[in-house]
Structure 1
């Protein structure tokens, strides 16, 4: 009974929290949920095999192939939906890894200070001194084409953002009275950081991470577009757009993946804006 009561309260709290989101944020959440469900279940939808011919080459959109076929006769709609299997997990893994690495190093830098802070921040400065797309291209080209290497390249690009953000939050929170009281009470450094500082630092991290999901999807597609991400015949959105770019008059080849990327980027942007308004009232 107690467990059931706690679960009901948590569910009620979650529903209330969702209800407070703005309409664009809710729409963005629905779009994101659609692509997550697609990535998890598309293999059970009975769609044509994205690697095999589903009709004649370069068929325009028709009743059988809603988005037509590509140069090898593969169904464009099927390949677009299967592309979520690549793009959505990669975005989740890259942002999660970037947050984990950046938050840990930023928290250490902000709390310890001194030489440790200087060393970590100089590493951050060196990393962010390169344009993100150029740095990602350089790392991916060094490691070689492939979706895993592209993901590693994007993690290297993204972690400094969260390191700076977390450091700034820790520097601000550790000067508050409750932290000074914990220090005076003899609390250990790890407990002070874990209990008294970090719980107050996650709001900007969460908002920034939500907005970054869309940017990661866009960067992953960009790397695949130039041949440094997922390799053909993988149904990845960037490589599909690259194929479509070489066949300008067969516009439907790039239409599906283009709409998919646009919807996912806008979905995360809308949701991030909604979370910012909800969690940080000062932003209004």
Structure 2
């Protein structure tokens, strides 16, 4: 008689990672396939104005008779790509400058970090609003504004990691052996600095989606009639008693923020050396 062995999940497969991963994968599937199965075109009339949720319009219609459910699904095509672009650009710029500041030190370190301190002294939403307002409304300008807000976070984080790692014995041994500075930085220091950056970027993804929606809410993001979650919530705020107009995009933003926060928490526990 064969004994049944319990199935043991990998150490990374914790409940937060699984829940967050399922939510995120579901939204990326919607992003890639929504144009083939959404009930209606997001910019065309789908019924009467302010129709409550029913069998034909699952989340009702808005002030122009457009299907709120379809517009909510299409909204992911604005939010996820812009968040991905902002994260990639912020990580590349911030980690490059932070690594240089931490490794070189001296006046260059002081110059970079004082600029970072000045940028971080402003509340993120106010700085993003100021930059976007100076450039003009639009998702492209909103993305530039969010990169301006977010790259200093990664510069400071990477600098702290580099300062910590460069004092370790293997780095001192590489320096004593005559290794070149680029080799020391890219081979002996940076590979040990990425875990906090990955965790931080994962958790920031949802925050960037929220900030992009906030800019659109106040008219500095997506331009009508583009279906975008913040803009849809702004329209719903004008007709608060028609709750369904803002309910769909609000739940969408909440799910994405929770999904990336769950995933980031799980990755932090997995990548933390103290948990091994």
TM-score range normalised by the length of the shorter chain: over 0.9
Secondary structure of 2:137's match? coil
* One of 100, 103, 116 as aligned partner of 2:108: 116
Structure 1 residue 45 corresponds to structure 2 residue 8: no
* One of 248, 258, 278 as aligned partner of 2:270: 278
Give the Cα–Cα distance (whole angstroms) in 2 for the partners of residues 187 and 111 of structure 1. 14
- Determine if contact 1:68/1:75 at 8 Å carries over to the other structure: yes
Give the Cα–Cα distance (whole angstroms) in 1 for the partners of residues 9 and 225 of structure 2. 45
Give the Cα–Cα distance (whole angstroms) in 2 for the partners of residues 47 and 176 of structure 1. 58
Give the Cα–Cα distance (whole angstroms) in 2 for the partners of residues 174 and 16 of structure 1. 36
**Structure 1 runs (4+) greater than 4 angstroms displaced:** none
Give the Cα–Cα distance (whole angstroms) in 2 for the partners of residues 89 and 172 of structure 1. 34
> Where do residues 1-284 of structure 1 align in structure 2 (5 Å cutoff)?
20-282=12-274
Give the Cα–Cα distance (whole angstroms) in 1 for the partners of residues 262 and 12 of structure 2. 14
After TM superposition, the score normalised by the length of structure 2 is 0.95
Give the Cα–Cα distance (whole angstroms) in 2 for the partners of residues 228 and 48 of structure 1. 27
1:9 maps to what in 2? none
2:4 maps to what in 1? none
Give the Cα–Cα distance (whole angstroms) in 2 for the partners of residues 252 and 42 of structure 1. 20
Shift of 1:24: 2.3
Over aligned residue pairs, what C-alpha RMSD do you find?
1.4
2:5 maps to what in 1? none
Give the Cα–Cα distance (whole angstroms) in 1 for the partners of residues 193 and 244 of structure 2. 45
Shift of 1:46: 4.5
- Structure 2: runs of 5 or more not aligned: 1-7
- Determine if contact 1:21/1:278 at 8 Å carries over to the other structure: no
Which region of structure 1 is more displaced relative to structure 2, 37-46 or 190-199? 37-46
Label 1:115 to 1:16 Cα distance change in 2 as closer, same or farther (>3 A): farther
Secondary structure of 2:39's match? coil
- Determine if contact 1:276/1:283 at 8 Å carries over to the other structure: no
Secondary structure of 1:69's match? coil
Count, aligned residues: 269
Shift of 1:25: 2.1
After TM superposition, the score normalised by the length of structure 1 is 0.92
Label 1:149 to 1:63 Cα distance change in 2 as closer, same or farther (>3 A): same
Label 1:16 to 1:119 Cα distance change in 2 as closer, same or farther (>3 A): farther
- Determine if contact 2:38/2:73 at 8 Å carries over to the other structure: no
List per-residue Cα deviations over 1:125-162 (Å, max 9, x = no partner).
Answer: 11001000000000000000000000000000000000
